[in-house]
Amino acid sequence: MSFGQGGPYGPGGSQPPQPSTPDWAALADQSAARNRRRRLLFIGGGVLATAAVAAIVATAVVSSGHKDKSGGDAAGGLPTPQDLPSESATPEPTFSDVAPPAPPKPLDIISSARRDKAPLSAATLFPEKRAAKDDRSYTKAASASTTSCAAATQGALGSVLTNNGCRKLLRATFSRDGVAVTVGVAVFDGKAAAEKAKDQYKPNIASLTGGGVPAFCRRTACQSSANAIGRYAYFTISGYTSGKAVTASDTAALQAGRDVADYTFRRILARGSAQASAEAAATSAN
């Protein structure tokens, strides 16, 4: 072996490898940079994933909106606007804001001479041959009317009627099984006068004879009553055609007087109802 030349590690040759120390700062910077890239990639991936899910859902919603053969929504939704029926060309009905007048009331009509204009007589007020109440019936025996109200009364009733302005007095007599009743209907201009005549009542209306009924209740005790409706005050006197006196416990004369009074009330009210119907019909025609 020659020692005159330098060996591999002599002068002019390569230096032997030297031990090296890691650059910890650089390594730390590189690691931090890698971590930042990972976070950015993770965030970006999440955004992309969310967008992809939203796109899939939107596509599913749009796809589910296809129509079935009937033109409706296959998913059960409403039909599209173009599939809805068009508005009818027929105009909608309109209604007046003005309320129709209230129908006339029968009691209002028979409470005022200005409105109570129908013909009035004993024949028109008592047109039937009989007055009935429940299973009891009374035969009309006679009827009469007068404009001299006091002339058809007895006792103090005449002055009561005259002082309150009585215009006419209509009478009718009904009988049943030996009991007779005369009803007298006094006619006034208004309701207030009729009410006053009723409240100031003093006996009696004079009984009306005729039609097979003799004079009754002239010199003997009888049953009497007084009432009013509208501009009419009506009075009854009931007793026996035999002349027998009516006692406090008597029921036949009392019942007869009540039945005829009730019949008279219904006849006066029927007069108002007929005129109210006529007024309503005339209003409708206009």
- Residues 140 and 117: their CA atoms lie apart, in Å, by 26
- Asked if 109 and 279 count as a contact pair (C-beta separation under 8 A), the reply is yes
Task: For each of the domains in the chain, give its residue range(s) and CATH number, in order of start.
Answer: 107-276 (3.40.1000)
The whole-number pLDDT of residue 22 equals 55
Query: Nearest to residue 193, comparing CAs of 224, 230, 157, 159?
Result: 230
The whole-number pLDDT of residue 243 equals 94
Mean pLDDT for all residues in the chain = 80
Spatial CB neighbours of 49, under 8 Å, sequence gap ≥ 6 = none
pLDDT band for 85, please (50, 70, 90 cuts).
low
The whole-number pLDDT of residue 64 equals 46
What are the structure tokens assigned to 55, written together? 């796109």
- The per-residue pLDDT for range 14-66, each reduced to its tens digit, is 444 444 455 555 555 666 566 666 555 544 544 444 544 444 544 444 444 44
